């Protein structure tokens, strides 16, 4: 959109929304929405406190481990499914089932099997992220241009070489796309896991603040969370863009 | 430059400039399109021929200059012109008869009336029996026939065709060219035809406007005369035809990237 | 060859359920019933009718939430797609919402609206709306420039072009958005059951968990997943049937 002939940057309307938020808060329209500035002040106060750092590290740990597993298990499974017809036919229905299933329903099961701690959350996170990673990796492998394969064979490439120099890069845009979506899902998984288990990480903080109606604190933590999720998502998107210049139009 | 009087030209282009930010797509272009004839705009990629066609169609505004259709200045699309698109531009969710009658539908013609008109033109382009089919069930060539029938059914005086045969295979393309020659003979319309194929332009046209790029300009106007009256099948072996093709290629070859 | 696909599906089901059965017998954990135990609990719940009343309760916020999200979501999406100004102003909100873990807002909703149907409906809405809005606006904006130009060349008015060209062209992806929205709505419904107040199926889960009736708990969860998957599959079939041949690429999640 243009204003006075200058092209306004993409997300700039958020500034206006922020302003509106500030005004609503200052006017004290509702108890539940404190002014944005107040929230930032609270944020700067709590960001160095022990509970916050503990929550951050617990959440970060769970997220890191969860995504780590989803990538290290998901990508190889996806590659396997992309290359082997039999395994593909065997596993694909299940991958699709779990992709569309409301995985939230599984959390109670995880809780009773693995307890109320980090382990359950990590597994939740992995489960949220892994299916789309498998699916996109599989798609990336399947769409490798057969001409590239024939080319590799005709020039006598060794399997390892062919994989590292050709197939990996050919499938990469699609894989990165899956990883990006998977990571977003992982963030949701971490939060949902913590909300339901609620004695660790940000889930615990939310419980604490909401039970004591500490609105500023609540929003502060929420904003941090949203900002982190957005940053991760944008970072992966930029990685994806770097690689996708050669991705063919689907 | 032609010195015919205004009433003999269906379309007149006068000093048209078109700029996209800093890039000058068309520079001081002036051209006449005689009524009832087929004029080709021929040139390599980037010479602005599609841009010019869309300006005449009223789909893009010129930066400066004027286009007149039968003496009236162009300000936007109008009922006096119909456009045939390179990528067919059919509605994928509508069947053939709806697609062909779409132009009439947008003009508010009643359903039974517009379908009757559509049926006639569907038969004219050789698609009788396919009225209920959908675009994805048709070959590329058939889809373009639908586009052509649609443009014909609104009965505009000027037909603007943007590389209409470039998206079909070679054999279909030759058949289309032969059919178009018959169409030009039978319909009393002015045809403006954009192409980058030299043979196609020489085969089809009463007049060829050669456009060259950077800056886009009309470099030459050619009127093949000798073989126009000839049998469709013997045109491609006529010596004047072959001479003109060679001549044009000589002019254009330096502009190929 | 058809039978091959079907029999492989059957085979893989047998494998998975068989593994479940074995794991239950080992047992992997005292809290892990076998497949057969869970299935008989499911059967019991069905016969008693408990499961139907439970779903009626659970589906209430889901249906209401999805309807509201669809109505406002598509409306907003259309507006965003058609107006550059509105797009600039409003889309960033939904873009942020799409990558954000919206479930984090649930405690807030509980604070504001208490526990009850209202907050549950809200949960479903915040989960479902972003994807519906973004898919709709994307579909509208990505309408093929060529057929819009065609509409203009044949003198279509702005209203005609929107109704006869843009909307039909966008409908496949709007439908995908709806499907993804319903999927997200399911998650919202279950979350609100587990987190706000368990009334329907959530009640079965919580109650059987607290009484260590694990087969019933697993049965309830199995039924949720089964229902959701079946429903979404049916939607996908309908989508393919209705929109076959219109050949639009799928927008990712």
pLDDT by residue, tens only, chain C of 253 residues: 567 777 877 888 888 888 888 888 877 777 788 888 888 888 888 888 888 888 888 888 999 999 999 999 999 999 999 998 889 889 888 888 888 888 888 888 888 888 888 889 999 999 999 999 999 999 998 888 999 999 999 999 999 999 999 999 999 899 989 999 998 998 888 888 888 887 888 888 888 888 888 888 888 888 888 888 888 889 888 888 888 756 543 332 2
What element of type H or E holds A6? strand A6-7
Strands B158-162 and B81-84: parallel
Backbone angles phi, psi at B40, to 5 degrees: -100, 145
Distances (CA, A) of A207 to A107, B74, B225: 18, 68, 89
Q: Which of A12, A132, A218 sits opposite C253 (nearest CB)?
A: A132
Q: Which of C9, C108, C187 sits opposite A93 (nearest CB)?
A: C9
Give yes or no for C237 touching A (CB within 8 A).
no
On whether residue C2 sits in a domain, the answer given is no
Taking the CB of residue A57, how many other CB atoms lie within 10 A of it? Answer: 11
Backbone angles phi, psi at C248, to 5 degrees: -100, 145
In the B/C pair of chains, how many CB contacts fall below 8 A? 59
Average pLDDT over residues B155-165: 92
Residue C2 has a pLDDT of 66
| Comparison of pLDDT for A168 and C153, the residue scoring more | C153
What CATH number is attached to the domain comprising C86? Answer: 1.10.3720.10
* Chain A 208-247, residues with CB within 8 Å of chain C CB atoms: 209-210, 213, 218, 222, 225-226, 229-230, 232-233
On chain C, the residues whose CB falls within 8 A of the CB of A8 are: 88
Backbone angles phi, psi at B30, to 5 degrees: -130, 135
On whether residue C251 sits in a domain, the answer given is no
Give yes or no for C221 touching A (CB within 8 A).
yes
Residue A10 has a pLDDT of 73
Q: Which of C5, C84, C104 sits opposite A191 (nearest CB)?
A: C104
Coil, helix or strand at residue A2 = strand
Cβ contact B232:B178 at 8 Å: yes
On whether residue C248 sits in a domain, the answer given is no
On chain C, the residues whose CB falls within 8 A of the CB of B57 are: 153
Give yes or no for C153 touching A (CB within 8 A).
no
On chain C, the residues whose CB falls within 8 A of the CB of A195 are: 103-104, 106-107, 191, 195
Question: Cβ–Cβ of C99/A229 closer than 8 Å?
Answer: yes
Coil, helix or strand at residue A145 = coil
Residue C100 has a pLDDT of 84
Residue B50 and residue B57: Cα distance in Å, rounded?
10
Task: Give the residue from C5, C16, C28, C99 with the most A CB atoms within 10 Å of its CB, the best one to mutate.
Answer: C99
Give the residues across from B38 on adjacent strands.
B191
Which two structure tokens, joined as six digits, stand for C201? 């199926």
On whether residue C203 sits in a domain, the answer given is yes
Is residue A132 over pLDDT 50? yes
Place of tokens 């192409």: B195
Which two structure tokens, joined as six digits, stand for A87? 């395994």
Nearest to B144 by CA among B120, B132, B162: B162
Nearest to A77 by CA among A138, A127, A123: A138
Helices (H) and strands (E) in chain A, counts: 11, 2
On chain B, the residues whose CB falls within 8 A of the CB of C146 are: 85, 87, 89
Predicted ipTM beyond 0.90: no
Give the residues across from B16 on adjacent strands.
B29
Residue A26 has a pLDDT of 87
Instruction: Convert the pLDDT of each residue in A14-54 to its tens digit.
Output: 888 889 888 888 888 888 888 888 888 888 888 888 888 88
Is residue B27 over pLDDT 60? yes
| Comparison of pLDDT for C246 and A66, the residue scoring more | A66
Question: What are the residue ranges spanned by the domains of chain A?
Answer: 43-244
A43-244 — its CATH code? 1.10.3720.10
Residue A69 and residue A127: Cα distance in Å, rounded?
9
Residue A166 and residue C11: Cα distance in Å, rounded?
35
Nearest CA to CA, how far is C246 from chain B (Å)?
6
Residue C96 and residue C93: Cα distance in Å, rounded?
5
| Comparison of pLDDT for B253 and B204, the residue scoring more | B204
Taking the CB of residue B238, how many other CB atoms lie within 10 A of it? Answer: 18
Is residue B5 over pLDDT 60? no
Q: Which of A1, A102, A202 sits opposite C84 (nearest CB)?
A: A1
Per-residue HEC secondary structure of C4-48 comes to HHHHHHHHHHHHHHHHHHHHHHCCCCCCCCCHHHHHHHHHHHHHH
- What is the average pLDDT score of chain B? 87
On whether residue C249 sits in a domain, the answer given is no
Average pLDDT over residues B177-182: 89
Residue A196 and residue C185: Cα distance in Å, rounded?
17
Instruction: Convert the pLDDT of each residue in B33-46 to its tens digit.
Output: 999 899 999 988 77
Which two structure tokens, joined as six digits, stand for C62? 């889901």
- DSSP-assigned states of every residue in chain B: -----GGGEEEEEEEEEEEETTEEEEEEEEEEEETTSEEEEE--TTSSHHHHHHHHHTSS--SEEEEEETTEEP-S--TTEEEE-TT----TTS-HHHHHTHHHHHTT--HHHHHHHHHHHHHHTT-TT-TT--GGGS-HHHHHHHHHHHHHHTT-SEEEEESTTTTS-HHHHHHHHHHHHHHHHHS--EEEEEES-HHHHHHH-SEEEEEETTTTEEEEEE---TTTTS-GGGGGG-HHHHHHHHHHHHHHHTT--
Q: Which residue of A has its CA nearest to C106?
A: A195
Question: Cβ–Cβ of C225/A225 closer than 8 Å?
Answer: no
Residue A247 has a pLDDT of 64
Cβ contact A64:A121 at 8 Å: no
Task: Give the residue from C143, C150, C152 with the most B CB atoms within 10 Å of its CB, the best one to mutate.
Answer: C150
Nearest to B155 by CA among B72, B81, B86, B87: B81
Residue B174 and residue B165: Cα distance in Å, rounded?
9
* Chain A 59-118, residues with CB within 8 Å of chain C CB atoms: 86, 89-91, 93-94, 97, 100-109, 112-113
Residue A150 has a pLDDT of 81
Residue B1 has a pLDDT of 46
| Structural domains of chain B ordered from first start | 6-80+156-253 (3.40.50.300)
On chain C, the residues whose CB falls within 8 A of the CB of B59 are: 149, 152-153
Q: Which residue of C has its CA nearest to A113?
A: C31
Q: Which residue of B has its CA nearest to C153?
A: B77
Q: How many domains does chain C have?
A: 1
On whether residue C157 sits in a domain, the answer given is yes
Q: Which residues of C72-108 are buried (b: 16+ CB within 10 A; e: fewer)?
A: ebbebbbbbbeeeebbbbbbbbbbbbbbbbbbbbbbb
Residue C128 has a pLDDT of 93
- Tell whether omega for the bond before A150 is within 30 degrees of 0, i.e. cis: no
Residue C188 and residue C181: Cα distance in Å, rounded?
10
What's the sign of the alpha-carbon dihedral C226, C232, C234, C237? Answer: negative
On chain A, the residues whose CB falls within 8 A of the CB of C110 are: 210
| Comparison of pLDDT for A69 and C15, the residue scoring more | A69
Cβ contact B151:B183 at 8 Å: no
Which two structure tokens, joined as six digits, stand for A11? 């997300």
Residue A193 and residue A111: Cα distance in Å, rounded?
9
Cβ contact A197:A97 at 8 Å: no
pTM for the full model? 0.82
Coil, helix or strand at residue A96 = helix
Q: Which domain holds residue C66?
A: 35-241
On whether residue C26 sits in a domain, the answer given is no
> Percentage helix, strand, coil, to 5, in chain C?
85, 0, 15
Give yes or no for C246 touching A (CB within 8 A).
no
Distances (CA, A) of B193 to B7, B84, B164, B202: 21, 10, 8, 11
Average pLDDT over residues B175-195: 89
């Amino acid at each position: 959109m243009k204003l006075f002939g200058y092209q306004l940057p993409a997300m700039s309307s958020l500034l206006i929304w922020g302003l509106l938020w500030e005004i609503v808060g200052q006017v004290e329209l509702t108890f539940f929405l404190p002014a944005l500035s107040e929230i930032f002040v609270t944020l700067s106060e709590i960001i160095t406190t022990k509970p916050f750092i503990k929550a951050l590290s617990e959440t970060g740990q769970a997220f890191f481990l969860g995504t780590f597993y989803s990538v290290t298990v998901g990508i190889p499974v996806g590659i396997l499914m992309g290359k082997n017809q039999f395994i593909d036919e065997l596993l694909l229905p299940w991958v699709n089932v779990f992709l569309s299933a409301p995985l939230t329903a599984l959390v109670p099961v995880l809780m009773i099997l693995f307890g109320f701690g980090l382990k359950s959350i990590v597994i939740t996170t992995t489960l949220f992220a892994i299916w789309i990673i498998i699916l996109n990796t599989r798609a990336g492998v399947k769409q490798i241009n057969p001409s590239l394969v024939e080319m590799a064979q005709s020039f006598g490439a060794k399997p390892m070489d062919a994989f590292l120099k050709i197939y990996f890069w050919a499938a990469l845009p699609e894989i990165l796309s899956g990883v990006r979506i998977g990571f977003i899902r992982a963030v949701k998984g971490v939060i949902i896991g913590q909300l339901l288990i609620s004695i660790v990480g940000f889930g615990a903080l939310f419980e604490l603040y909401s039970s004591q109606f500490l609105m500023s604190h609540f929003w502060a933590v929420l904003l941090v969370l949203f900002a982190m999720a957005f940053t991760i998502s944008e970072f992966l998107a930029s990685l994806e863009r770097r690689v996708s210049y050669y991705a063919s139009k689907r | 430059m032609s010195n015919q009087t205004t009433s003999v030209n269906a379309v007149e282009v006068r000093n048209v400039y078109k700029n996209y930010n800093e890039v000058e797509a068309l520079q001081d272009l002036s051209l006449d399109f005689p009524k009832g004839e087929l004029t080709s705009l021929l040139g390599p990629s980037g010479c602005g021929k599609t841009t010019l066609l869309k300006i005449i169609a009223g789909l893009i505004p010129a930066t400066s200059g004027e286009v007149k259709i039968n003496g009236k200045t162009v300000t936007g699309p109008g009922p006096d012109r119909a456009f045939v698109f390179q990528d067919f531009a059919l509605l994928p969710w509508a069947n053939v008869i709806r697609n062909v009658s779409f132009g009439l539908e947008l003009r508010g013609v009643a359903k039974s009336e517009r379908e009757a008109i559509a049926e006639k033109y569907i038969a004219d382009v050789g698609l009788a029996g396919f009225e209920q089919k959908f675009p994805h069930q048709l070959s590329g060539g058939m889809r373009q026939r639908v586009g052509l029938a649609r443009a014909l059914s609104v009965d505009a005086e000027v037909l603007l065709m943007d590389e209409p045969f470039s998206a079909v295979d070679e054999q279909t393309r030759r058949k289309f060219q032969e059919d178009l020659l018959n169409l030009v003979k039978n319909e009393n319309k002015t045809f403006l035809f954009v192409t980058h194929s030299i043979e196609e332009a020489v085969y089809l046209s009463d007049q060829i406007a050669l456009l060259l790029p950077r800056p886009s300009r009309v470099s030459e106007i050619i009127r093949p005369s000798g073989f126009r009256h000839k049998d469709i099948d013997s045109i491609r072996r006529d010596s004047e035809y072959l001479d003109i093709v060679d001549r044009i290629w000589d002019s254009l070859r330096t502009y190929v990237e | 060859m058809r039978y091959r696909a079907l029999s492989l599906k059957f085979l893989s089901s047998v494998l998975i359920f068989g593994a479940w059965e074995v794991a239950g017998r080992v047992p992997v954990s005292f809290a892990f019933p076998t497949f057969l135990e869970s299935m008989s609990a499911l059967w019991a719940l069905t016969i008693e009718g408990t499961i139907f009343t439970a779903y009626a309760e659970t589906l209430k916020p889901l249906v209401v939430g999805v309807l509201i999200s669809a109505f406002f979501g598509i409306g907003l999406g259309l507006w965003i797609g058609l107006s550059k100004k509105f797009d600039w102003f409003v889309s960033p909100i939904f873009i942020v919402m799409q990558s954000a873990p919206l479930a984090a807002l649930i405690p807030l909703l509980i604070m504001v609206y208490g526990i009850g149907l209202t907050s549950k409906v809200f949960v479903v809405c915040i989960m479902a709306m972003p994807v519906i809005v973004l898919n709709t606006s994307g579909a509208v904006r990505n309408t093929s420039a060529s057929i819009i130009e065609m509409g203009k060349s044949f003198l279509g008015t702005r209203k005609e072009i929107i109704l006869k060209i843009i909307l039909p062209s966008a409908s496949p992806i709007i439908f995908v958005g709806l499907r993804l929205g319903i999927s997200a709505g399911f998650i919202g419904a279950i979350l609100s059951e587990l987190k706000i107040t368990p009334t329907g199926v959530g009640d079965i889960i919580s109650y059987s968990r607290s009484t260590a009736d694990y087969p019933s708990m697993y049965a309830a969860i199995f039924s949720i997943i089964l229902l959701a998957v079946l429903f979404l599959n049916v939607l996908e079939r309908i989508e393919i049937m209705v929109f076959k041949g219109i050949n639009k690429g799928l927008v990712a999640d």
